[in-house]
Amino acid sequence: MSENLKSSLAIGLLQILGKLPLWLLHGISIVVVGFMLLVPNQSFTQTRLNIQRCWPNLTSKQKRQFVRQSLLHTTHSALEMGINWTQSSQKGLDSIRQIKGEHCFTEAQKKGGVILLTPHLGNWELFANWAAHNAKVTALYKPAKLPALDALIHKARSQAGMKLAPASAKGVMQLKRSLLKGEVSLILPDQEPPASAGIISQWFGQPAYTMTLAAALADTKDTRIVLGFARRLQDSEGFVIELEDITQQCIGVSANDDSDALLASKVQAINASIEKLVRSAPDQYQWEYRRFKQTL
């Protein structure tokens, strides 16, 4: 199948999904997951493996239920991209029912630049949309494999108000400049970094190759670190934006002047904060993501 045909099919499907209400999208997810539990597939295999690694004390029954719920939310996230990428950004914003911790985000912006971290939890695309409507946001961006789909995503994020920085040295400098100007740099901190841009750090008791970017950027003058996500409400009622300033938790500690040790300490502190956030809504994390492919 040609790339053009793949792109056309993908975009056509996203446009259809974008016009459906949340309750119907989530109903479709239930049907999709029913098949995923019956037919061998990589998403099921990787989700089960990561849950076994990170939640070893659960019973077999609890793990099965966890896997199903995780796949359900992962499918929710995928289908919700139709709204995020093909509809007006306002349609997504209209599904937000509450903002928790908004004051910490506002106060952080008053003090200088903000590193805004959101892992693969809940609806991270909606979270980015909300952030872009409430601040000047530059987001790290890795292009999609299909050019036409990439153009669609790029257009949607740009229309929401985001500036997009490539996942390269040039993009890192763009994030740095945004912080120096007192703006917001948005990063998915659990995304796999390129070679030489990460270190091994503990996450859920497992060694995970983790990006150093957020920890390094945290040294930028007057910069705060805020962690957040868009939590999916029950019964397809919408989302709640949750935010927390984790600057103090992520200062890092080194017994000497070893800059590498200090950086590793900061990376571990950020990982610990992300783990705590994921534990608050574990079903909504994308456990199919190959977080440990470099280490386990």
Digit-by-digit pLDDT tens for the chain (296 residues) are 677 788 889 999 999 999 999 999 999 999 999 999 999 999 999 999 999 999 999 999 999 999 999 999 999 999 999 999 999 999 999 999 999 999 999 999 999 999 999 999 999 999 999 999 999 999 988 888 888 999 999 999 999 999 999 988 899 999 999 999 999 999 999 998 888 899 999 999 999 999 999 999 999 999 999 999 999 999 999 999 999 999 999 887 665 667 888 999 999 999 999 999 999 999 999 999 999 999 98
Q: By the 8 A CB rule, do 47 and 287 touch?
A: yes
Instruction: Name the pTM for this structure.
Output: 0.95
Q: Per the structure block, which two tokens stand in for 118?
A: 């959101």
Q: Contacts from 35-41 at CB under 8 Å and sequence distance 24+?
A: 36/71, 36/75, 37/68, 37/71
Beta strands of 13-162 (E only): which ranges?
96-100, 114-117, 137-141
Helix (H, G, I), strand (E, B) or coil at 32: helix
pLDDT at 1: 65
Specify whether the backbone of 204 is left (phi greater than 0), alpha (psi in -120 to 50) or beta: left
pLDDT at 143: 85
Q: What is the 3-state secondary structure (H, E, C) of 202-263?
A: EECCEEEEEECHHHHHCCCCCCEEEEEEEEECHHHCCEEEEEEECCHHHCCCCCCCCHHHHH
**Residue extents of the structural domains in the chain:** 89-284
